[in-house]
Amino acid sequence: MARKKSTKTPKAEPAKGVINGAGEVVEQPIVSAIRENFMPYAMSVILSRAIPEIDGFKPSHRKLLFTMYKMGLLNGARTKSANIVGATMKLNPHGDAAIYDTMVRLSRGYEALLHPYVDSKGNFGKFYSRDMAWAASRYTEAKLAPICGELFRDIDKDTVDFIDNYDNTMKEPTLLPASYPSVLVNANTGIAVGMASNICSFNLREICETTAALIRDPEHDIRSTLPAPDFTGGCQILYDEKAFTQVYETGRGSIRLRARYEYDKSANCIDVLSIPASTTCEVIIEKIIDLVKQGKVREIADVRDETGLSGLKITIDLKRGTDPDKLMAKLFKLTTLEDAYACNFNVLIAGVPRVLGVRELLQEWIAFRVECVKRRTFFDRTKKAERLHLLKGLEKILLDIDKAIRIIRETDEEAEVVPNLMIGFGIDQTQAEYVAEIKLRHLNREYILKRTQDIEDLEREIAELDEILKSKARIKTIIVKELRAVAEKYGQPRKSMIIYEDTAVYTEEAEEIPDYACTFFFTKEGYFKKITPQSLRMSNSQKLKEGDEITQEMEFSNNCDLLFFTDKAQVYKTKASDFADTKASVLGEYVAAKLGMDEGENAVYMVATKDYRGYLLFGFENGKAAKVPLEAYATKTNRKKLTGAYSDKSPLAGVLWLAEDTEIIFSSSSGRRLLVHTGAISLKTTRSTQGVAVMKLKKGHRLFALQPYTEGTFLKPQRYRAKSLPAAGALPSAEDAGDEQLSLI
Contact criterion met (CB below 8 Å) for 683 and 615: yes
476 falls in which pLDDT band (50, 70, 90)?
very high
Same domain, 578 and 667: yes
- Please check whether residues 408 and 522 belong to one and the same domain: no
Residue 414 backbone zone (phi > 0: left; psi -120 to 50: alpha; other: beta): alpha
Q: Tell me if 678 sits within 8 A of 661, measured CB to CB.
A: yes
**Which of 145, 177, 209 lies at the terminal end of a domain, its last residue?**
177
On whether both 313 and 369 belong to a single domain, the answer is no
Of 104-118, 385-399, 619-633, the poorest mean pLDDT is in 385-399
- Yes or no: say if 92 and 60 are a contact pair by the CB < 8 Å rule: yes
Considering the domain architecture, whether residues 565 and 675 belong to the same structural domain is answered as yes
Residue 539: alpha-carbon gap to chain centroid? 55
CB 349, CB 305: distance < 8 Å: no
CA 46 to chain centre: 18
For residue range 632-671, list pLDDT tens digits in order: 898 766 668 888 899 999 999 999 999 999 999 999 999 9
The sign one gets for the Cα dihedral 586, 591, 595, 599 is negative
Do 61 and 102 form a contact (C-beta atoms < 8 A)? yes
Which element (helix H / strand E) includes 574?
strand 570-575
Q: Which of 678, 529, 683, 532 is nearest to 606 (CA)?
A: 529
In a domain, 387, yes or no: yes
- Find the mean pLDDT for residues 376-399: 90
Which of 35-44, 56-65, 128-137, 315-324 has the lowest average pLDDT? 35-44
Report DSSP state, residue 580. Answer: P
Q: Could you write out the DSSP letters of every residue in 599-656?
A: TT--EEEEEEESS--SEEEEEETTSEEEEEEGGGG--SS---EEE-SS--SS-EEEEE
Distance CA 476, CA 14 (A): 60
Q: Which residues of 596-621 are buried (b: 16+ CB within 10 A; e: fewer)?
A: ebeeebbbbbbbbbeebeebbbbbbb
Output the pLDDT for position 68: 96
* Residue, of 400 and 124, whose pLDDT is higher: 124
**pLDDT value at 395 more than 80:** yes
Say yes or no: 726 and 614 in one domain: yes
Phi and psi at residue 199, in whole multiples of 5°?
A: -105, 125
Which pLDDT score is estimated for 22? Answer: 57
Judgement on whether residues 458 and 524 belong to the same structural domain of the protein = no
φ/ψ region of 295 (left if φ > 0, alpha if ψ in -120 to 50, else beta) reads left
Convert the pLDDT of each residue in 66-108 to its tens digit.
Answer: 999 999 999 989 999 999 999 999 998 888 999 999 999 999 9
What is the domain extent for residue 562? 517-742
* pLDDT above 50: residue 506: no
The pLDDT of residue 736? 73
CB atoms within 10 A of CB 476: 17
User: How many domains does the chain divide into?
Assistant: 4
CA angle 392, 396, 397 (to 5 degrees): 115
Q: Domain check: are 433 and 308 in the same one?
A: no
- With CA atoms as reference, report the closest residue to 507 among 236, 128, 233: 236
What count of other Cβ atoms lies within 10 Å of the Cβ of residue 526? 25
**Residue range 580-606: mean pLDDT, rounded:** 90
344 confidence band (pLDDT: 50, 70, 90): very high
Instruction: Please report the pLDDT score of residue 21 as a whole number.
Output: 56
**199 with 182: CB under 8 angstroms?**
no
CA 40 to chain centroid, in Å, comes to 26
In a domain, 141, yes or no: yes
Q: Are 345 and 252 in contact (CB under 8 A)?
A: yes
> Domain boundary at 143, 177, 211, which?
177
CATH number of 80's domain: 3.90.199.10
Residue 208 in any domain: the answer is no
The stretch 716-743 carries a mean pLDDT of 77
**Cα–Cα dist 146/204, whole Å:** 15
Task: Assign 6 a pLDDT band (cuts: 50, 70, 90).
Answer: very low
Residue 313 CB partners (closer than 8 Å, separation 6+): 271, 272, 273, 305, 306, 307
Pick the closest to residue 243 from 213, 223, 225, 259 (CA basis): 223
Q: What is the model's pLDDT at position 1?
A: 40
Rounded distance between C-alpha atoms, residue 244 and residue 224, angstroms: 13
The average confidence (pLDDT) of the chain is 88
pLDDT in tens, 28-57: 888 888 888 888 888 888 888 889 999 999
CA distance 355 to 407: 68
Tell whether 480 and 555 lie within a shared domain. no
* Residue 352, H or E segment: strand 352-355
Q: Tell me, what CATH number does 441's domain have?
A: 1.10.268.10
Q: Mark whether 463 and 523 lie in a shared domain.
A: no
* Residue of 139, 166, 506, 516 marked catalytic: 139
CATH number at residue 692: 2.120.10.90
> Is 686 inside a domain boundary?
yes
Task: Give the model's confidence band at 114: pLDDT under 50 very low, under 70 low, under 90 confident, else very high.
Answer: very high
Pair (527, 619) in one structural domain: yes
Q: What is the percent of the chain where pLDDT is above 90?
A: 62
Residues in the chain: 745
- Report d(CA 65, CA 152) in Å as an integer: 9
Q: How far apart are CA 186 and CA 713, in angstroms?
A: 75
605 domain residue, yes or no: yes
Q: What is the mean pLDDT of residues 474-489?
A: 96
Q: What distance in Å separates the CA atoms of residue 367 and residue 254, rounded to the nearest whole number?
A: 28
Mapping DSSP to helix (H, G, I), strand (E, B) and coil, where does residue 475 land?
helix
Give the residue among 196, 198, 339 at the shortest CA–CA distance from 279. 339
CA dist 65 and 187 (Å) reads 17
41 lies in a domain?
no
Distance CA 4, CA 46 (A): 43
Checking if the pLDDT of 444 tops 80, the result is no
Residue 585 has pLDDT above 90, yes or no: no
Burial class of residue 28 in the structure, from the number of CB atoms within 10 Å of its CB (0-12 exposed, 13-18 middle, 19+ buried):
middle
By the 8 A CB rule, do 695 and 705 touch?
no
Mean pLDDT value of segment 401-419: 88
User: How far, rounded to the nearest angstrom, does the alpha carbon of residue 326 sit from its chain's CA centroid?
Assistant: 28
What pLDDT, on the 0 to 100 scale, is given for residue 636? 66
DSSP letter assigned to residue 414:
G
Q: At residue 159, does pLDDT exceed 90?
A: yes
Residues 555 and 624 in one domain: yes
Nearest to 614 by CA among 630, 600, 637, 632: 630
572 catalytic per annotation:
no
pLDDT at 509 over 70: no
> Are the CB atoms for 346 and 355 separated by under 8 Å?
yes
* pLDDT confidence bin for 408, thresholds 50/70/90: confident
Residue 9 forms part of a structural domain: no
Question: Could you tell me the CATH number of the domain that includes residue 327?
Answer: 3.30.1360.40
Structure pTM?
0.68
Residue pair 617/678 in contact (Cβ under 8 Å)? The answer is yes
DSSP 48: I
Neighbouring residues of 40: CB distance < 8 A, sequence distance ≥ 6: none
What whole-number distance in Å separates Cα of residue 248 and Cα of residue 233? 22
Widest Cα–Cα separation across the chain: 147
Question: Taking 60 as the threshold, does the pLDDT of residue 614 lie above it?
Answer: yes
Element housing 43 (H / E): helix 30-45
Q: How many Cβ atoms sit within 10 Å of the Cβ of residue 6?
A: 12
- 330 and 373 housed in the same domain: no
Average pLDDT over residues 317-332: 92
- Per the model's pLDDT, the better-predicted residue between 4 and 42 turns out to be 42
